[in-house]
Structure formats: structure tokens, C-alpha cells
Structure 1
Amino acid sequence: MIEVRLADSDEQCSGTPKVLSMEILTDVSSRSFDLRAAMVVCRELDCGNAVRVTTARQTSEEGRNRGYVQMIDCTGHESAVSQCQQQQISLDSGFVSIRTRVVCSESVRLVDGDGFCSGRLEVKTNQSWSRVCETDFDRQDAEVVCRELGCGTPLTLQGELFGEGTHPFGTKEFQCKGTEEHLLTCSASTREEHTCTHGKAVGLACSGPRDVRLVGGDSRCAGTVEMFHSGEWRELNGEAWFRREAAVVCRQLDCGSAVVANVKRPLSSEPGWSVATDCGGSEPALRECATFVHLQTEVLAAVTCSGTSSDENKELI
């Protein structure tokens, strides 16, 4: 039986993913480890939703004495890593040692939604998950949740939008200002009894991450792909850039469908982000099917979408 751990961290719900099998703890390969795999890791550890996955080169000292790593490939819907596809990869002399780090939301999650940024809101207090009543939650609270999950801004807030769920209702009425980083740091009042009725469990849809843009084209819906990662915008490599990936970018930017997916030669020596993509084409955001890797690239990803200039400032409805 394979179990997952988050190591090299003082925090329970963030760290380097490793798998435990037959009392042997093995590093997880950065290959194919994307936000979908991170969602499964966070779910198995009861740590809420995956917020982000980062990678960094390891020093020779950190990467030595490892005969192999475990590659896991998940759809994002599994309840445990043991249900994902797995393969052991031997480390040869040409293998680049990459450390992957996962950050989970720990105490807030969206479940049963259409993607990672929508679903029924559940909050964990005293190691137990509870639903939130619609009357105890407003626009300012939703802004904090979407930000905490790395999911942009709130679009839709409605009772039973994503089902009623089975966890008990919490007794907190949140009173966020909208600027807090975490929902549980907001002011809240506590009711001795909760009278939330059926159909009032908060469902929330966020806009999704604003971490992709198209530059240098005739409109915001055409150009070279740039992605925000580790605090900066960089162009994206196009070594494995296809219509499926382009479709995800156009959807994320609310730019219609992909018309052209092509590659360009870089005009500068500034290195771009290198990602390995495994998109099906229906994902709501590129980060859900992209893994950051550390490889050199000679071509950049470019997209032309069918849309031109949709409303970038959607309001909560």
C-alpha cells in the first residue's frame, strides 16, 4: 500500500511530496506532477485544496543517494495517490534533480465543483469539516476564499450551487473585510444554535487564476503566451505546444476557442518558463495540466483565439 507524505517542512499541509511503500520513503518525480496530482495529495492528507506547485533544482548533495524516484500521474479526482498511475524511474547520470513543493489550503476547500476553483465551500475547525450557511457568508468573505485558494475573484455565490453535502453546518458567521489572506483570520461571530435550512449550503465559483496572458498580438486574445510563476511573468516554452493547450489558454482568458496554436523563435535571450503539459483541452486553467520543469527551449508558445476583447472585470452575480 502506497501512502503520501509532505516532508522537509514544519507545516503539516505543505512540503515536498514523497511516497511511502514497504517502509521506504521515495521522492516523487517532478515529471507529470501537476496541480491535479497535488489536489490528490492534499485530499489524501485531509489538507483542503492544492493552492500551488513549485519546483526548484536540487543541489548535488540534496539529490544524491537516490536510486530512483516515483512518477505519479493523476486525473485530480482520485481520493488517494495509490489510485493514480505510477511508475518508478531510475536515476541515471543525465537526470536533472528537481525538488517539487506542494502548498495546500489546509482549512478551506471547494468540493464537487466543475474545476479546482469552484464548488461547495467547506471549512475545517478542530480537525472537522463543516459546510457554511449562505446567510453567514457574503461577497467580502468570498473574496478572501478565492484569494486564499489562488483562484482570482468571486463570480458566483449561491446556496446549493454545487449540491447540499453531508457535513454539518458550522456555527460561525464570517465577517471578513475582503482584504484578509485567510478565511479563518477574519472576524466571526458564533451562534449557539444553527438553523440553516436545506438548500443553503454555500456554493462558490471563482474567476480562476490570473496567471496567463497573451502579449504582442493584435488583441488580448492573441500573442505569445506568458505565465506568472515564482513572482514573475515569463514567456512559455513551445516544445510540446498543441491545440489542446491553446484551447485551455483561450478558455482561461475568456477568449473563445483556439484558432491557431503555433510556436515562435524568442527575440531575446531572457529565459522563459519551461513547462511540460498534459492537457485534455477541457481544463479551465493551464496550471491544472502544466508541470514546471527545468529544460532549455528554443521556441515559445503562441496562441490566436476566436475572441477579441471580453469583459475582464466580471462582477459577482
Structure 2
Amino acid sequence: CGPPLVIQGALYGEVKASKWTKEFQCEGTESSLLGCRNRGPVRNTCSPGKAVGLTCSEPVRLVGGASRCEGLLEVKLGTWRPVNASNWTMKEAALACRELDCGSVVSMGTRNNTSVKLFWEINLNLFKSGSSLRESASSSSKFYSILELVCTDLLVQPTISVSTKGGVTRTIPQGLAGVLLGSSFTIICSIQPQYPGGSFQLFFTSANTTQSYSQPHINHSAHFLFPEAGPNHFGNYSCVYNVHVFFHNFS
């Protein structure tokens, strides 16, 4: 499953221990976990604080582009190989971008390369039914064009916060905030820098109505000022970030 992206457990944070049918005793020289010695019946092998959780990167990548989210699609099953582009549509391309954690598909193309002798043929029906690219791949030696994708990097979700002037902000669980009646307050939408430009929309939903307010970003944030808090301001607030990149609009 590729190199580790996240490791948890022991010094890295608590992970809930599970019950396994085998206790693995690895010395570090084995080529796989199943190559380790094991012993014992069903038992809880990890005491609290000892369990390790791993998040691995999928053996799928885009190479040769300006970022990790554009280039030739390659899959690793023992060795890295490009993917045959035959019969691919934007629907499958969108699924591939999603599997790569690269947001939405922008464009799909092909490239001819006669020096490539071995490809991965993707069973598109299997892929569309929920299997991963790796699970859908089989080897092929026929000459095909190579699949090339441009995806957006995954847009980071904006954050929302509230501040008051002349009043007190009280934050309680479930993302609830209290503001004193009559005090001014500001709803702040912000996002990590990813792309230039963009704007924010603040949506306010009460029992009777839904309103929206728009502002361009300034230093990747927008401040929506409400001069005086009243009963009509009680409701739900949410931020939406809009940006135009790769000749497409994304939110």
C-alpha cells in the first residue's frame, strides 16, 4: 500500500486495540507482515497505549506534471507501469482524481510512447463499481496510448469563527457560540492558502429564512460584520469558498 502517511499509537496518540487471531513476532528482516513468526490463540495482543494505527499511501500516482495532481497515471503492482487510456471517459477520470486525493478532474488526455512495453489494463466496470485502480488492474503488453490526467488539488474546507466587540463570546460543544444581545459580532471565514483569488459566501439560516453574503478574500479570509446582535441573528452560519482555477469554478 505504498509508504506510510500517518502513524499513530504509543508516542503518536492512542489507538483502540483490536483482537487478532495471531500475535505477530517480527524481527524487522521480513519482507511482509505475513512473513513474521506468529503464535497463540485469539487474544487481545495490545495493552492500552501499545496499539499502532497506520494510514498508507495508495500505490497510484501522476508523474511528469507541474504538481502531484497532474501527469501520466501510473499504478504499482510490483512495478510502476502507466495505464492504458482506451475507453476511459471523464467519469472514470473523476474517480481516479478522487482516489488520488486530488479533488475534481480538469482534463483527460492521451500520450503515445512506443518505448513503453508493459501497461496496466484497468477493468473499468470493476473500477466504476467501487474497486480501486490497483484492484482493477491487469497486465497487458499490447501497445496503447497512455492516460494523462490533470486534477485539482483537493480544496481545503474553510474554517468559521466568531468574534465580538463590546461583548463576550462563549463557545460551547458542537460548534455553538453565544453572543450577548446588543453587541456587535463578526463571522470570520478563512482558508489555508492554496490558489490565488477566490471569494467567500456566508450562509445564514434561521427558522424563517436563508440569507447569503459575499466578499472577496483578503489574505485568504473574509470578515462579515453584524453591528448589533438581535433575536433575528439566532441560527446556523456556514462558509463556502469559491475559486476559479484551471478554467473551472470550484467551491
TM-score range, shorter chain: 0.3 to 0.5
Higher strand share goes to which structure? 2
Structure with greater Cα Rg = 2
- With CA pairs under 8 Å and 6+ residues apart, which has the higher RCO, 1 or 2? 1
TM-score of the superposed pair, with normalisation by structure 1:
0.37
